[in-house]
Amino acid sequence: MPTTPRLFSLALALTLGISTVSCSKLRREPARPAMAPIDAPRSTRNPAQPAPTPTPAPTPASPPPAVAGGGPLPGSPSTFAPLVRATRASVVSIFANTRQVVGSAWGWSRPQERYSLSKGTGFLIADNGELLTNNHVIEGAEYIQVQLDDGRRFEASVLGRDPRLDVALLRVKAPGVRLQPVRLGDSDHLEVGDWVMAIGNPYGLAQTVTAGIVSATGRTGREVDLGEGNFGNLLQTDASINPGNSGGPLLNLAGEVVGINVAVRRDAQGVGFAIPINMARTVVPQLRQYGRAVRSWLGITPGEVTEQMLDFMSLPDTRGALVREVIDGSPAARSGIRPGDVIRRFDGHDIVDPTQLPWLASSAGAGHRAHVEMIREGQPLALDVTLEALPEAIPVAGGPGQGMVPIPPPGAP
């Protein structure tokens, strides 16, 4: 039809007019930043405005290097199974029978004897049957049995005890049995965060394995509160340790014993303690030869330095061991150490806490000449002291049993 082009043109004009009006209305609205499509070419942007510099995407963190077996961190074990297989035959369960005399009520009958059974753990250190455990596991026992990994039980005897360190050396009598001793490591090289594993007999559950890390080193006797006479310098670990783990080994990833598990905080989780194996190695030869620890002697009563003492004693901080008393005729007295002195270094070792000093003085050996650095009346002072063997006439109650320690008898101030 002839009118069709005209109608089509009219419709197109009306459509364009409406579009123009709509665009003009949009321009009168407040301006908003335009968002270009992600795939829009650069030429479609307004040439009067420089193109914004794109912000680089953050680089994702690189994953840790792959570890054989899929460990989450470099050097972390994917499994402890090979370590368990290599060491569990060296770990034994200990059963100690202790006789107790119990009096009857109201005196109607004679006192009766009863036996109590204590359970603990130990580990073989020689193929002749020698093994280490805690002294409190076997203290007072009249009969001791040792159970091997395969379940067989044999009688054991005590070669020597050190109540102060809480270490005992036993020998199991297992004729015809090939025993597998464990290697002893170097606890001085331990660092906080190192992996460790414990094997023990908690609550009678033999060969229980737990793992964790070294939580701290050098825990003092005051922090752990094991008793007035115990040495400090303990290892702390979050590997689960429970009653019955006492005397068992704390092992590193090389399968070496770095500590002897000794205590756990009952009111906490993952707070266990172990005696550094280097301390035990010091006394093992003495226990084997003499049946007890043979210690040197300084002859003082060490005490704590408190905040209240700093001003009037002109001390920079609370580090060190306060000399509360000097025993007459002792090596300390002959060298010129006086009450009120604060020993800050002993034989090259910093004294942070007074519980560190007894171990250093008692393990150095009789005849050893130790260099002592201290503060007297606010002034630094250094002198040398020749240590002597601890007199056997000075027994001191300490920890779980009686020990020979370089401090005065009970009751001394």
Place of tokens 């280097």: 278
CA distances from 23 to 11, 29, 78, 148, 304 (A): 19, 10, 67, 93, 87
- Active-site entry in 90, 93, 118, 136: 136
Beta bridge partners of 3: none
Integer Cα distance of 392 and 377 in angstroms: 34
- Active-site entry in 90, 93, 118, 246: 246
Is 166 a known active-site residue? yes
- Which tokens in the block code for residue 234? 């303990």
Is 118 a known active-site residue? no
Is 157 a known active-site residue? no
Paired sense of beta strands 91-102 and 141-147, if any: antiparallel
CA angle 335, 340, 346 (to 5 degrees): 50
- Active-site entry in 93, 118, 162, 166: 166
Active-site residue list: 136, 166, 246
